[in-house]
Amino acid sequence: MSTTPLHGGAASGFRRMWHDLEALGLEGDSGGYHRFAWTREDHDLREWFAGECADRGLDLTTDRMGNQWAWWGDPDAAVAAGDPGVVIGSHLDSVPNGGAFDGPLGVVGALAAVDQLRHDGFAPARPVGIVNFADEEGARFGVACAGSRVITGALGADRARGLADNDGVTMAEAMRRAGRDPAALGRDDETLARIGAFVELHVEQGRLLVDLGHSVGVGSDIWPHGRWRVDVPGEANHAGTTALAEREDAMLGLAAMIIAARRAAETQGCVATVGKVQVLPGGVNAIASSATGWLDARGSDADAVLRVVTEVRDVVSDFDGLVTQESWTPTTDFDPALVRRIATRLDGLPVIGTGAGHDAGILANAGIRSAMLFVRNPTGVSHSPDEWASADDCLDGIAALADVVTDLAGAGA
Ligand code: GLV
Ligand code: MN
Ligand code: MN
């Protein structure tokens, strides 16, 4: 990569911010993070973001969903002039026991990139925004990228407000407790109009960059993917006194569903995961009266992914089970001209696809010019405390991001 390396101030700023975040939302001594939307941890992360933006004199706004946007320059004057801004950033929430990089690298990286640009004396010809998207992982309410889906209208406000967490707390109630007005939720055209281009820096969640021998790559597309809730009914009864032949055991349907998903994924060339289940009444000595599993299915071919779901549906129907789609994101191609331009600017960095979902994909599907930069992850592990990238590679990614903003927000663009 030929991009100028980060200067000392931006690099040490990155290290300081990374250090600040290390303690926020740590889950015991597991090394992983629990940073769910609209919780105390999320509040602390949002306050941290607001503080960093204030320290840089950026103007912070929140949209109808509570996503945070910090602006260097006036985004509305740019809209009025027909030349909207360039936005960078990502999210700060996590999956259960998540890693440190998925999300925070893009937010911290965006702040450090602005430090680099200012150190270089860069004068943006159009505003530069930094976003912290709310609830990207959907870890609490089930729908991933809820922040970007609501403001683009991909997730309706009524449905979003009614989504409930494991304790039955709705998103509306959680937002109210966090000091937000859930009545405000909805498509936010004013916010969307301010985004001329969005570039999200992210840790790679695979090993393509390791194989290619590059610290940074440019994103081309996201696999189609979705989440389905599978409910299997049963009848609670005593584990010792109920004959096998007399049981209505919800667990059997759930087990059959999990095996069917795996087999169908193998035959269809997809991936399928059941990483969350809920069993009632949840007693060791009680037959399950209901069992719910959440299926996450993805692949390069949307029809093949949907065939996996059909096979699962067929299997659970034998157990009177019900499959309900909770979200679906079609194949997402990032803006081809923007991808080419970024790859060329960054001296021909590799262009790679991903099976992971991102807010950049939701914006792209809403017609907003979007792209991504990925930072090498030596093991490829993600959504786990083992997720990692070296500081040198992160700094390469931030330098690349600053270079891209110089190009996209510069006078010549
Ligand atoms: C988000 O990280 C997802 O791909 O599930
Ligand atoms: Mn993630
Ligand atoms: Mn992410």
Whether residue 4 has pLDDT greater than 90: no
Q: Which of 7-11, 126-130, 302-306, 322-326 has the lowest mean pLDDT?
A: 7-11
Residue nearest to atom 1 of ligand 1 (CA): 357
CA of 144 to the centre of ligand 2 (A): 9
Identify which ligand lies nearest to the alpha carbon of 90: 3
Relative to the CA of 136, which ligand 1 atom is closest?
A: 1
pLDDT band with cut points at 50, 70 and 90 for residue 412: confident
pLDDT confidence band for 8 (50 / 70 / 90): confident
Residue 191 in tokens = 């916010």
CA separation for the pair 114, 122 (Å, rounded)? 9
Mean pLDDT of all residues in 377-386 = 98
Which residues does 413 contact at the CB level (< 8 Å), separation at least 6? 125, 126, 407
For residue 112, how far is its CA from the centre of ligand 1 (angstroms)? 24
- For the chain, the average pLDDT equals 97
Better-scored residue on pLDDT, 269 or 10? 269
Index of the ligand 1 atom closest to the CA of residue 225: 4
CA 259/CA 277 separation, integer angstroms: 14
- Rounded Cα distance, 260 and 311, in Å: 7
State both tokens at 301.
């071919």
pLDDT of 6: 81
CB 144 near ligand 1, within 6 Å: yes
Residue-level pLDDT at 1: 60
Ligand number nearest to the C-alpha of 357: 1
102 CA → ligand 2 middle, Å: 5
For residues 243-270, give the mean pLDDT.
98
Give me the residues near ligand 2 (ion), CB cutoff below 5 Å. Answer: 102
To test the pocket of ligand 1, the residue of 140, 332, 354, 358 to mutate (highest count of ligand atoms within 8 Å of its CB) is 358
* 3-class SS letters over 98-151: ECCCCCHHHHHHHHHHHHHHHHCCCCCCCCEEEEEECCCCCCCCCCCCHHHHHH
Residue 216 has pLDDT above 60, yes or no: yes
Atom of ligand 1 nearest to the CA of 296: 5
pLDDT tens track for 84-122 = 999 999 999 999 999 999 999 999 999 999 999 999 999
> Band of the pLDDT at 2, cuts 50, 70, 90?
low
